[in-house]
Amino acid sequence: MKRSPFLQPLSREHHAALVLARACERAGRSGNADDVAATCARAMREYAAQIEAHFDLEERHLLPLLQSDAGQALVRRTLAEHRALRTLLDGLRQNDAAALARFGDTLAAHVRFEERELFPAIEAVM
């Protein structure tokens, strides 16, 4: 499905987030402390530089478009997943391998949810 021009930049950011998620999953399960530390640092940098702004844009400009009951369920899920990812950052600050793997898993699942469910719902009301 061709994405709305308004959402295309966000979908490109999703691709970058999936690349990061894969790196987090791999490093978190590697057992290599140096890889874990380097990938934790990378994830925190990319979160601060890109992902938090992406979340903010969604929360301020996209989620308010979803007013129906079904739309509100998507809003609640999106916000809960954003909170979960923010919470996992604490483990990354500790170079926690398990938290890094969970961050990667959670980020990848979140991107898939947004691309498959949230963005189509937003496009339907735009």
pLDDT computed for residue 126 by the predictor: 85
Domain boundaries of the chain, sorted by first residue: 8-125
**Burial category of 14 from C-beta neighbours within 10 Å (exposed 0-12, middle 13-18, buried 19 and up):** buried
Distances (CA, A) of 41 to 24, 46, 60, 68, 86: 10, 9, 27, 39, 15
Model pTM score: 0.94
Whole-angstrom Cα distance, residue 41 to residue 123? 35
Tokens representing 58? Answer: 């969604």
> Side chain identity at 6, as an amino acid letter?
F
- Averaged over successive runs of 10 residues, the pLDDT of the chain (126 residues) comes to 86 96 98 98 97 97 92 96 96 97 98 97 92
